[in-house]
Amino acid sequence: MLHLPPHKRELGIVFQNYALFPHLDVLGNVAFGLRRRRVPVAEANRQAKAALEMVGLGDYGRRLPNQLSGGQQQRVALARAFVLRPPLLLMDEPLSSLDLKLREQMRHEIRALQRQLGLTLIYVTHDQDEALAMSDRIAVLSAGQVQQIGAPREIYERPVNEFVARFIGSVNLWKADDVRVEADGSVLARVAGGTTMRVARHSAKTGAIQVGVRPERLRILPAGSVGEAGPNQFDAEIEEITFLGEDLQIRARLPGATPVQVATKNVTDVASLAPGQRVKLECSVDDVICIS
Amino acid sequence: MLSAAAASVALTENGLVTPAAAQEGKFVWAATGGAWSEQLTSSFVKGTKFAGPTTTQSAQLESIAASKILSSNGRPEYSASNHGNAEVALLQAGSALQPYDLSTVTNFADIRDSAKLGTDYAAFCLLIFGLAWNTKEAKKPTSFMDMWKPEYKGRIGVPAYGYYGMYWLHALNKIMGGTEDDVTPALKVVSKLVREQQAVMIENSDHTARLFEQGEIVMGPWWSGRIIRLKEQGQPIGFEYVPGTLAVGSGFVIPKGAPQPQLANEFINGTLDPQRQAAFAALTRYPPTNKKTVLDEKYKDVALPESAEANFVKLDWAKISATRAKNLELWNKEVL
Amino acid sequence: MMSSASVEQRIPASSARQERRAGLNLALIAGPYGLFLLAILGAPVFILVAISFSKHAPPAMWSSILSLENYQRATEPFYLEMFVRTLRIAILSTVASVIVGYPLAYFLARSPRNVATIGMFLLVTPLMVSTVIRSFGWIIILGRNGLISQAAQALGFEGPVRLLYTEFAVTLALTQIFLPLMVLPLVAAIERIPVRVEEAAASLGSSPLSVFLQVIVPLSRAGLVSGCLLCFTTGISVVVTPALLGGRSVRMAGNFVYEQVVTAFDWPLAASLANVLAILALLSTAAALGLSPKTSSGRS
């Protein structure tokens, strides 16, 4: 494709700042590509009108782009690109200049439109939530290099390197200073402060590795409770609790002052926690992330 | 109503407001700018009482200066203004000049008569408008009529009406037996020269120099001084005092009501001084008008040959000036 | 299927009262300036109109006798033909400047800064050379012994090729003079067009030529209009170029006005010629502005 001049690539593009043609009205913008393909005026306008109706702007054909809100301009840009039914549609951070509410609404609309029209979309974004919410497959890029390609869940739960792990969501990640392979194939990794974590066999790695766990995968066991001694239980002292209404964000320290983040729903069990309190944290072996 | 307004505007522009220079007692002389004004300054201002800061030059085309004097309602900005014969005649007709004070302009008596118009004007040099020719590509001409030879088709220069074409037309007319009242004989032949033989219109002296240099033209009426200087630079150019050659004076007049008239008379007397005229002739290669002027041996070319003066055409400058607009219209419609 | 529930409302920035106050302040600030402008721009026009209706009475520049004679003369076929020629040359050289200048302006506007700076410098340098000198340059190029004539003779054409003293020579020289006048406003206008818009057009299937015609040209219309106005108004008032390169037959309005002032001392005729020219120029400008559409719809 790279050897073709841009106008022959058949690649639809939705630009970050929409790049609508300010001298053409909305209908003119959407019909532009059709006219370049020598579609007769009447037919081009009919298709453009239909595309505008799909994005809810059926009555806006005679407006100029600068008479539209940001969200509306975004829809025009979208209609302008998909009206040509390109085999591939590239969206370059299409929602980055919209406010949060509108952004979330547009995500759903774009996803629905994509399904309805059977479009193949490449959706470029810096917003991890957007990437996770909209994608069938995600490619994480850093400095022009593909780091990992996979389904959203795979990227999140099995990141291949530190960049991916830290880029998508938040993560507790510690360097292992002692790594032992157990008989069942799992790995026992010790991090600074003496805490050990067991890594399930299917994600186990050896050598210079880092191990960790997503904050929301850590459970807080009631103080003093010993329970069954599970493989991944750690002592911790709560340092600070950030109250987010529905959620709590807790910063704590493992032995050896190793910091750890815990995210939890603000449920009755944890409502009485306070800084300084000693607790036990626990996570499932399957939730432990291991990267080399 | 509009004409009344125009008249009142003319009043405010020229009559009621006294020019700043006159108020300050400054002496203002008017002349064309550029090289000409430098030559005038070098010969007539440098080393005189006029070299100081109370003297200023006002630089514009001579015809513009004449227009300003004519429309100044007797309160001109200039103490002295540089013009050729035809414009002087125009200014005289408009009663816009005052005569020299001959008790101050003592050199007046030594000026050749052909360089004077009454006591309003005495030229400090003669500008000779004869026939220039390319000594490599043309044959030595004996008459303006050589310009019509078929071998020179497309390679003849004709001065535009606004650039001495008006004077040359009359000169040609005269040698063809016409008078200043009717230029038809000359118009007819010039028309043929321009339209059928594709002569080139020349607009000014630099233009002429360039056209000769580029070989665009090989013959045409032009000023003697410029030709002598080009010859000295080694260009293949010659000058002939053919019959009908124009000898046009250039001199200073005192507009009626001029500020500092005494200084104006003193300044003009300086331009008529034999030594200063010799210096001016050395600079410009134009012959002096004061009969007592002695030219350096080097500039013997500049002095008029005995034979030349017989070929000079005598013109009625007042008539030429009075018919300039009418003849321009004829020129535009019949020659161009 | 999408809802337009998210339409953002635009709230007027200022109330009517604030606008009235702003208007008053503007009048106070701009008033004296406006009067000054009117005086220095309006008065000469008024004088010119007044003189054009006065009878020429030599040796005075003009008289207080009212007359329509000057306009009768200025509109006789001889002068009308000259006006038509003047407009034709001005329009042709303006069009030529557009054709040569648009791609150049696009190139400069989209070049890296250092290339653009050098380009601009080269473009503007000729402005520092007088039109007289530049006309002499054209005599050297177009003359009978000039570059083109010699090249043509080397190629087997017979005799010297005469390009001087033609409308072509004048139009060519004027185009060269106009180029910076056309390119500078165009560069300013094209620079303001986001590159993304061009990329969008390309992604929608526009060839480079189509991007230029469908996107760049309509979006730099303001620059085009001001460039054309600059060139056209300069073009109808030139004196030196037609005098030196036009010869006897390609004389323009400026030459006639100039010689009426400087040679014939007939200011009333000069004033009426100038006024007829001004009216023709205003009419053609108005026509040109009226013909070019402001916005286009889906019929592009």
| C29-65 residue pLDDT tens | 888 888 888 889 889 999 999 999 999 887 777 788 8
Say which amino acid occupies B314.
Answer: K
Cβ contact A251:A186 at 8 Å: no
- Alpha-carbon separation of residue C162 from B207, C93, C146, C158 (angstroms): 18, 20, 10, 11
How confident is the model at residue B264, as a pLDDT?
96
Give residue B48's pLDDT band: very low, low, confident or very high (50, 70, 90). Answer: very high
> Do the two chains A and B touch, given a threshold of 8 Å on CB pairs and at least 3 pairs?
no
Distance CA C235, CA C233 (A): 5
Cβ contact A190:A178 at 8 Å: yes
CA A111 centroid distance within chain = 14
Q: Chain A partners of C189 at a C-beta cutoff of 8 Å?
A: none
| Residue C228 in this model has a pLDDT that exceeds 90 | yes
Q: Please name the fold of domain B127-247+311-335.
A: D-Maltodextrin-Binding Protein; domain 2 (3.40.190)
**Distance from A136 to chain C by nearest Cα, in Å?**
22
Kindly state whether B215 is in contact with chain C, defined as any CB-CB distance less than 8 angstroms: yes
Do residue B322 and residue C60 have CB atoms under 8 angstroms apart?
no
pLDDT in tens, B261-305: 999 999 999 999 999 999 999 999 999 999 999 998 888 778 888
Do residue C203 and residue A20 have CB atoms under 8 angstroms apart?
no
CA A26 centroid distance within chain = 32
- Alpha-carbon separation of residue C167 from A195, B156, C171 (angstroms): 94, 20, 6
How confident is the model at residue B75, as a pLDDT?
92
Overall average pLDDT of the B161-182 stretch: 94
Overall average pLDDT of the C114-121 stretch: 94
Q: Chain A partners of C218 at a C-beta cutoff of 8 Å?
A: 23
Domain boundaries, chain A: 6-136, 215-283
| Residue C3 in this model has a pLDDT that exceeds 80 | no
Which chains sit next to C, with 3 or more Cβ pairs under 8 A? Answer: A, B
Please name the member of C50, C145, C256 whose beta carbon is closest to the beta carbon of B215: C145
The CATH number of domain B2-126+249-308, selected from 3.20.20.70, 3.30.70.120, 3.40.190.10, 3.40.50.10330: 3.40.190.10
| Residue B258 in this model has a pLDDT that exceeds 90 | yes
Say which amino acid occupies A166.
Answer: R
Please name the member of C200, C295, C296 whose beta carbon is closest to the beta carbon of A13: C200
Overall average pLDDT of the B231-260 stretch: 94
Q: Chain C partners of A87 at a C-beta cutoff of 8 Å?
A: none
Do residue C295 and residue A25 have CB atoms under 8 angstroms apart?
yes
Q: Chain B partners of C43 at a C-beta cutoff of 8 Å?
A: 9
> Could you tell me which residues of chain C have a Cβ less than 8 Å from any Cβ in chain A?
1-4, 6-8, 194, 196-197, 199-208, 210-211, 214-215, 218-219, 221, 295-300
| Residue C292 in this model has a pLDDT that exceeds 90 | no
In A45-74, the residues whose Cβ lies within 8 Å of chain C are: 45, 48, 54-57, 60-62, 64, 69-72
How confident is the model at residue A228, as a pLDDT?
58
What is the b/e burial string over B180-189, where b = at least 16 CB atoms within 10 angstroms of the residue's CB?
beebebbbeb
Q: What is the mean pLDDT of chain B?
A: 89
- From the list C25, C171, C207, C23, the residue with the least C-alpha distance to C97 is C171
Q: Chain B partners of C251 at a C-beta cutoff of 8 Å?
A: 336
> Do the two chains A and C touch, given a threshold of 8 Å on CB pairs and at least 3 pairs?
yes
Cβ contact B272:B280 at 8 Å: no
- From the list A249, A279, A253, the residue with the least C-alpha distance to A262 is A249
Kindly state whether C249 is in contact with chain B, defined as any CB-CB distance less than 8 angstroms: yes
Distance CA C171, CA C241 (A): 9
Q: Name the helix (H) or strand (E) containing A114.
A: helix A100-117
How confident is the model at residue A1, as a pLDDT?
60
Q: Please name the fold of domain A215-283.
A: OB fold (Dihydrolipoamide Acetyltransferase, E2P) (2.40.50)
Please name the member of C60, C136, C261 whose beta carbon is closest to the beta carbon of B210: C136
Distance CA B332, CA B334 (A): 6
The DSSP secondary-structure symbol of B300 reads T
Is the ipTM, as predicted for this complex, more than 0.95?
no
Distance CA A9, CA C202 (A): 9
Kindly state whether A76 is in contact with chain C, defined as any CB-CB distance less than 8 angstroms: no
What architecture does CATH give domain A6-136?
3-Layer(aba) Sandwich (3.40)
Pairs across A and C, CB distance < 8 A? 124
Which residues have CB under 8 Å from B164's CB, separation 6+? B129, B221, B246
Residue of C nearest to A109 (CA): C2
Do residue A17 and residue C1 have CB atoms under 8 angstroms apart?
no
- From the list C149, C166, C152, the residue with the least C-alpha distance to C244 is C166
In C218-237, the residues whose Cβ lies within 8 Å of chain B are: none
Do residue A7 and residue C295 have CB atoms under 8 angstroms apart?
no
Distance CA B304, CA A225 (A): 133
Give residue B252's pLDDT band: very low, low, confident or very high (50, 70, 90). Answer: very high
Cβ contact A237:A276 at 8 Å: yes
Full pLDDT tens readout for chain A, 292 residues: 667 888 888 888 999 888 999 999 999 999 999 999 999 999 999 999 999 998 989 999 999 999 999 889 999 999 999 999 999 999 998 888 888 888 888 888 899 989 988 889 999 998 888 899 889 999 999 998 999 999 999 999 989 999 999 998 889 998 888 888 888 888 888 887 778 888 887 877 777 888 889 999 998 886 666 655 567 888 888 999 998 988 999 999 988 888 899 999 888 888 788 888 888 888 888 888 988 8
Give residue C165's pLDDT band: very low, low, confident or very high (50, 70, 90). Answer: very high
Q: What is the mean pLDDT of chain C?
A: 87
Q: Chain C partners of A27 at a C-beta cutoff of 8 Å?
A: 297-298
In B54-73, the residues whose Cβ lies within 8 Å of chain C are: 61, 63-64, 66-67, 70-71
| Residue C197 in this model has a pLDDT that exceeds 70 | yes
Which chains sit next to B, with 3 or more Cβ pairs under 8 A? Answer: C
Which residues have CB under 8 Å from C44's CB, separation 6+? none
> Which residues in chain B are classed under CATH 3.40.190.10?
2-126+249-308, 127-247+311-335
**Distance from B82 to chain C by nearest Cα, in Å?**
15
Which domains can be identified in chain C, with CATH numbers? Answer: 84-179+226-286 (1.10.3720.10)
Give residue C15's pLDDT band: very low, low, confident or very high (50, 70, 90). Answer: low
Cβ contact B128:B286 at 8 Å: yes
Distance CA B46, CA B40 (A): 9
Sign of the CA dihedral B224, B225, B226, B229?
positive
For chain A, helix, strand, coil in percent to 5 are: 35, 30, 40
| Residue B15 in this model has a pLDDT that exceeds 80 | no
| Residue B7 in this model has a pLDDT that exceeds 60 | no
Distance CA A24, CA A30 (A): 9
